[in-house]
């Protein structure tokens, strides 16, 4: 695989950019400044080629097929599983379950563990910084089982306030603590290690939403000491429609399945069905084979660029963006200082709704996200209906941030 850079220390976003066909176009006659990678990343041709190659040379349904193509497809799927085991430094590839996205992975844990293990008097603890995908499933299963959902509040600078954790646990038994590693709305890098330690002191399991962390920093499920971790492929240069749920073997073994049907069984009789081994027990139906191949290629791509280098690059961009944006009159910036945030900057312009901001920016070739970012509890806390969010990735260059700032001046002119 020809890669633009393999330098461990620093990445060259201009060279990497050439791997992404999407940047070979103008939008509304302007160069494309794509500042919405936190929603979904763009795709390098190496990943696209890996998927095409699989479809063109090795495609057939996996498992059980006894012919050559089925064997090749099975091998490709299981190679992808092993690749993601390495990506996460998981002990065993059988713990790597392919799901549709982080949302499905988190729902899998909520239904297949939460629903079976929660009861009245139990507590589920989430944070005010969660994406709806790591908030609503817990609220739903807690409600169904008569358990209570409690929320770790936001403190200063868009960072969690952990000072009241023990109070939060009062009057109940904490069974589940669920938090993200990086906030999709504010870019806050959360103190997950402290939350994990606290969860385990309480005898609870810790579920980590790594959707926003996986593209931008090295993950190690053993070092993190989490019990479950979910990620989405599409945010890390992979295709849409695939993600990974990693879970501890001992927990996965004792769990009932989430989805049932084909492939996940050992034997089916009219009166009784028994489940297959891990990971198959949790992978009902035809697997997202080509997507798994694409995800493995995406893992190759981001690791070749260097996850440490990506993280450093994004810190630099965040610092530059916060500096430049602070110049714009009437701007409010949300979230922590650059050294404690990923490449995400949320802001509002006084008196101008984010949708109006985003629409005028679009005409200048600048793509940002405007809305509640699937974080309505957080928006309520900030006292706003919505924010603008610019987010960066390995292909982002400072000129795109300049284009954003110039665009914001134009927005102010329209609404002057």
Partner 1 sequence: MSEFEQLYREVILDHYKNPRGHGVLDDADASAEGQNPLCGDEVSIYVAFADDGETIDEVKFSGRGCAISQAATSMLTEMVEGRSATEVATMEKDELLDTIGIPLTPVRLKCAMLGLTTLKVALHKAKGTPLPEGLAGFDELELT
Active-site residues, by number, are: 374
For partner 1, the binding residue among 45, 218, 324, 363 (CB under 8 A) is 363
Q: What is the CA radius of gyration of the chain?
A: 22
Closest CA to 110 of 140, 151, 149: 140
Give φ, ψ of 304 to 5 degrees.
-70, -40
**Region of 68-76, 104-112, 206-214, 369-377 interacting with partner 1 (CB under 8 A):** 369-377
Interacting residue with partner 1 among 10, 286, 332, 359 (CB under 8 A): 359
- 126 vs 379: CA distance, rounded Å: 16
Residue 40 Cβ vs partner 1, minimum distance, rounded to whole Å? 16
Beta carbon nearer to partner 1, 23 or 415: 415
Buried b (16+ CB within 10 A) or exposed e, 128-142: bbbbebbbbbbbbbb
Out of 63, 79, 353, 381, the only residue in the binding site for partner 1 (CB under 8 A) is: 353
Using CA atoms, how far residue 128 sits from 3, 138, 209, 219, 375, in Å, is: 39, 13, 14, 23, 8
Q: Considering Cα of 286, then 290, then 296, then 302, what sign does the dihedral take? A: negative
Nearer to partner 1, 200 or 363 (CB): 363
Under rule CB under 8 A, residue 415 binds partner 1:
yes
Q: Which residue number, 368 or 370, has a Cβ lying nearer to partner 1?
A: 370
Nearest 5°: the CA angle 124, 128, 129 is 115
Among 225, 356, 402, 406, binds partner 1 (CB under 8 A): 356
> Judged by CB under 8 A, does residue 371 bind partner 1?
yes
CB of 355 to partner 1, least distance (A): 4
Instruction: Please give the structure tokens belonging to residue 354.
Output: 């984010």
Size of the site for partner 1 (CB under 8 A): 19
> Alpha carbon of 55 to those of 60, 241, 290: distances in Å?
8, 16, 7
Q: Is 253 in the site for partner 1 (CB under 8 A)?
A: no
Residues 43-82 that bind partner 1 (CB under 8 A): none
Q: Is 39 in the site for partner 1 (CB under 8 A)?
A: no
Contact pick of 354, 375, 395, 401 for partner 1 (by CB under 8 A): 354
Kindly state the smallest distance separating residue 335's Cβ from partner 1, in Å: 19
The answer to whether 414 contacts partner 1 (rule: CB under 8 A) is yes
The answer to the question of residue 383 lying near partner 1 (CB under 8 A) is: no
Question: How does 232-247 read in b/e, with b if 16+ C-beta sit within 10 Å?
Answer: bbbbbbbbbbbbbbbb
Smallest gap from Cβ 203 to partner 1, in A, equals 37
Under rule CB under 8 A, residue 410 binds partner 1: yes
- Residue 164 DSSP one-character state: T
**Minimal distance, residue 359 CB to partner 1, in Å:** 6
Tokens of 150: 């409690």
Binding positions for partner 1, rule: CB under 8 A:
28, 352-356, 359-360, 363, 370-372, 379, 385-386, 410, 413-415
């Amino acid at each position: 695989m020809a890669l633009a850079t393999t330098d461990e220390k620093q990445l060259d976003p201009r060279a990497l950019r050439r791997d992404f066909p999407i940047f070979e176009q103008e939008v509304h006659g302007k160069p494309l400044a794509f500042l919405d990678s936190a929603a979904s990343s763009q795709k390098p041709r190496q990943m696209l080629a890996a998927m095409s190659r699989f479809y063109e040379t090795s495609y057939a349904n996996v498992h059980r097929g006894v012919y050559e193509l089925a064997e090749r497809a099975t091998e490709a799927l299981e190679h992808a599983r092993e690749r993601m085991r390495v990506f996460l430094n998981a002990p065993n590839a059988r713990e790597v379950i392919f799901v549709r996205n982080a949302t499905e992975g988190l729902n899998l844990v909520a239904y297949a563990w939460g629903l079976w293990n929660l009861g009245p008097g139990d507590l589920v603890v989430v944070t005010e910084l969660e994406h709806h995908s790591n908030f609503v499933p817990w609220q739903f299963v807690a409600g169904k089982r008569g358990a209570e959902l409690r929320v770790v509040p936001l403190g200063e600078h868009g960072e969690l306030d952990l000072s009241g954790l023990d109070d939060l646990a009062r009057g109940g038994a904490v069974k589940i603590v669920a938090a993200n590693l990086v906030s999709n709305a504010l870019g806050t890098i959360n103190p997950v290690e402290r939350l994990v330690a606290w969860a385990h002191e309480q005898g609870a399991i810790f579920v980590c939403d790594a959707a926003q962390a996986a593209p931008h920093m090295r993950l190690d499920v053993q070092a993190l000491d989490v019990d479950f971790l979910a990620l989405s492929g599409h945010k890390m240069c992979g295709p849409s429609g695939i993600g990974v749920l990693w879970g501890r073997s001992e927990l996965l073994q004792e769990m009932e399945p989430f989805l049932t049907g084909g492939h996940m069984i050992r034997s089916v009789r009219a009166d009784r069905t028994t489940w297959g081994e891990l990971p198959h027990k949790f992978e009902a139906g035809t697997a997202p084979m080509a997507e798994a191949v694409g995800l493995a290629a995406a893992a190759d791509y981001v690791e070749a660029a260097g996850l440490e280098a990506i993280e450093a690059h994004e810190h630099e961009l965040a610092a530059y963006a916060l500096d430049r944006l602070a110049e714009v009159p009437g701007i409010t910036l949300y979230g922590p200082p650059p050294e404690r945030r990923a490449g995400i900057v949320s802001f509002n312009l006084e008196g101008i709704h984010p949708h109006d901001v985003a629409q005028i920016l679009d005409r200048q070739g600048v793509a940002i996200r405007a809305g509640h970012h699937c974080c309505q509890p957080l928006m309520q806390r900030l006292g706003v209906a919505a924010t603008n969010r610019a987010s960066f990735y390995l292909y982002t260059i400072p000129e795109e941030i300049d284009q954003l700032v110039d665009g914001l001046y134009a927005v102010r002119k329209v609404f002057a």
